[in-house]
Amino acid sequence: MQRVAVLSQHVVAGGPARPPLGAAATSAAASPIVAKLKGKIAALAKDRVALKAELLKAGDTKIQDLTVEMCINGARSIKAMVTETSDLDAAKGIAYRGLSLFEANQKLPKAPGGESGLPEAAFWLLLTGEIPSAEETAAFTAELHARSAVPANVLTTLATLPKDTHPMTQLSMCMLAMQKDSKFSAKYQEGMMKNAYWEWALEDALDLIARIPVVAAHIYRRTFKDGSAPPYDSKLDWAGNYAQMLGVNDSEAFKECTRLYLMLHADHEGGNVSAHTSHLVGSALSDPYYSWAAGLCGLAGPLHGLANQECLRWLKETQKNLGGQEPTVEILTKYAQDTLASGKVIPGFGHGVLRQTDPRYTIQKEFAEAHFPDDPLFKLANVCFQAIPPVLQATGKVKNPWPNVDALSGTCMQYYGLNQEDYYTVVFAVSRSLGCMANLVWSRMMGLPIERPKSMTLDALEAAAKKQ
Ligand code: NMX
Ligand code: MLT
């Protein structure tokens, strides 16, 4: 297979120079699919912005009582922000614009011959509330390809980083390196009107989403391989091309697995750490690059996105300790108990909101059962599903003992040869950029203000508790 340095064949010539904004604005306006996308967002926003204004007239309506516990314990369950793109139900899981993941996966356009909903079509759904047609999806994919050239300064920045820098650190730094070309930021400096914020946030969001798979693939190739990769293929869809640029597996099955992965992880309402972080940073009118660089730093935490890395590490270690022995519920129960006794969490289980098995886990399990039912790690993960929940339940404190998305995502990737678990959160990140960018566009469209909750001292909480 021909291999080339993935970024060096895909950079903006002369890189560091900022493209003239007028030209960028004109070319964006000249793209029929972007004009259509903007029209759909604006049409949907008409009602939603009016509804927001109406709701604010009854702004003192109570929706919830706050407790000392909520204040101390990570703002859990506090309803304190607006997110339009998706909503998380504790029992049913995430819905993208009202569609469950099962429905979304069924209805979203597919790659030729494929069964997984295309993630760029999911992005369109999150932005517009509509499932795009096959023609709209094809034009939108082409638009992302047209925007995918990565500025040369990003490559230069990456080259300065030691190869053993964690891939998530590399990715976040690349987002910051791209910030110099932010159209939102440049327009703000020119004094754009508030009602134009969302369009320029969208312009940055489209550029960022177009480029992030290229950067992510380059990070993989430079960190774990020799830096060369299969060339960018604009005949493929957004996720299919990302999968092939990783250069680990040429099969259509791996592309399908990647499409599914990137569709499933795209959004999880607004309160999760990465979405909340990017929303918060964006509320200061920091541009999408700043916002997503910050969101990525949150995603890199082991209780959030890094759990997929930790989970695979845990499974591999367990597999090694088994030394060829068949995994049983009894053995896995003991391993899980030992993990808890050593003061660690069991990665891939539990959730801040969900109280049932994560539907993203279920959908990945169905994929694995169809494509690699006999994979030893998948078999081990299945035994974990039986063994771990009772162990967590027995602690008496874990609110959700069931598996979340991270319990299987790494197992799917390793089957196709992407077996460096330190990279897994980057795949999550490529996907979550869709939801966080869609949210940012909508936050600017709705004119949401700077986010600034009130904090309390323990003394003030004590005084409040004494009053009751
Ligand atoms: N293993 C061990 N202990 C756990 C687990 C787990 N999987 N889940 C919850 N607990 C503990 C938790 O640490 C807390 O202990 P303590 O009171 O001593 O501080 C107690 O149970 C109550 O926690 P919950 O209210 O059930 O969960 P919380 O909302 O605080 O945290 C997670 C949610 C997801 C952070 C937690 O379940 C966890 O640490 N899971 C393992 C890491 C993981 O899989 N994260 C991925 C989440 C999904 N994602 O992709 O972001
Ligand atoms: C996510 O996908 O963001 C995680 O499940 C964490 C969350 O929702 O809090």
Mean pLDDT by 10 residues, the chain (468 residues): 60 42 40 98 97 96 96 96 98 98 98 98 99 98 97 96 98 98 98 98 98 98 95 97 98 98 98 98 98 98 98 96 95 97 97 98 98 97 98 98 98 98 98 98 98 97 94
Q: How remote is the C-alpha of 340 from its chain's centroid?
A: 28
Cα–Cα distance for residue pair 173/162, rounded to 1 Å: 13
Amino acid code (one letter) for 407: A
Residue 464 CB-density burial (10 A; 0-12 exposed, 13-18 middle, 19+ buried): middle
Amino acid code (one letter) for 298: G
Residues 224 and 423 sit within 8 Å (Cβ to Cβ): yes
Which residues line ligand 2 at a C-beta cut-off of 6 Å?
A: 268, 272, 304, 352-353, 404-405
Instruction: Give strand ranges (E) for 195-247.
Output: 228-229
DSSP 232: P
Q: How remote is the C-alpha of 313 from its chain's centroid?
A: 21
In a domain, 147, yes or no: no
User: Which of 77, 268, 303 to probe ligand 1 with, by most ligand atoms within 8 A of CB?
Assistant: 303
Residue 313 CB-density burial (10 A; 0-12 exposed, 13-18 middle, 19+ buried): middle
Cα–Cα distance for residue pair 17/14, rounded to 1 Å: 6
- Please list the residues that pair with 349 across neighbouring strands: 403
72 lines ligand 1 (CB under 6 A): no
User: Which of 78, 86, 272 to probe ligand 2 with, by most ligand atoms within 8 A of CB?
Assistant: 272
**Kind and range of the H or E run holding 361:** helix 359-371
What pLDDT score does 468 carry? 85
Cα–Cα distance for residue pair 302/305, rounded to 1 Å: 6
The alpha-helical segments, DSSP class H, found in 31-148 are 32-57, 68-72, 101-107, 119-128, 134-146
Report the alpha-carbon angle 351-405-389, nearest 5. Answer: 55
404 lines ligand 1 (CB under 6 A): yes
Residues 140 and 33 sit within 8 Å (Cβ to Cβ): yes
87 Cα: distance to centroid of ligand 1 (angstroms): 21
In a domain, 333, yes or no: yes
Measured by CA distance, the residue closest to atom 12 of ligand 1 is 398
In a domain, 369, yes or no: yes
Cα–Cα distance for residue pair 87/89, rounded to 1 Å: 7
The closest ligand to the CA of 89 turns out to be 2
Cα–Cα distance for residue pair 165/181, rounded to 1 Å: 24
Q: How many CA atoms lie within 13 A of 183 on its CB side?
A: 23
Cα–Cα distance for residue pair 139/435, rounded to 1 Å: 20
- Please list the residues that pair with 228 across neighbouring strands: 5
Q: Hey, what are 245's tokens?
A: 């640029």
- Which residues are the active-site residues? 304, 351, 406
CA-closest candidate to residue 427, choices 414, 439, 440, 438: 414
308 Cα: distance to centroid of ligand 1 (angstroms): 14
In a domain, 408, yes or no: yes
In a domain, 321, yes or no: yes
Cα–Cα distance for residue pair 433/41, rounded to 1 Å: 18
User: Which of 351, 425, 427 to probe ligand 2 with, by most ligand atoms within 8 A of CB?
Assistant: 351
What pLDDT score does 25 carry? 37
In a domain, 332, yes or no: yes
* Domain count of the fold of the chain: 1
Residues 80 and 279 sit within 8 Å (Cβ to Cβ): no
Q: Given the CA of residue 428, which atom of ligand 1 is nearest to it?
A: 50
Residues 117 and 101 sit within 8 Å (Cβ to Cβ): no
Residue positions counted in the chain? 468
Residues 196 and 445 sit within 8 Å (Cβ to Cβ): no
Measured by CA distance, the residue closest to atom 6 of ligand 2 is 272
> Dihedral sign, CA of 146, 190, 278, 77?
negative
In a domain, 282, yes or no: no
> Dihedral sign, CA of 25, 30, 34, 35?
positive
In a domain, 396, yes or no: yes
268 Cα: distance to centroid of ligand 2 (angstroms): 6
The closest ligand to the CA of 301 turns out to be 1
What pLDDT score does 4 carry? 59
The closest ligand to the CA of 407 turns out to be 1
90 Cα: distance to centroid of ligand 1 (angstroms): 15
Whole-model pTM?
0.95
119 lines ligand 1 (CB under 6 A): no
352 lines ligand 1 (CB under 6 A): yes
Q: Given the CA of residue 352, which atom of ligand 2 is nearest to it?
A: 9
Give the structural domain span for 407: 305-416
Look up the CATH number of the domain holding residue 358.
1.10.230.10
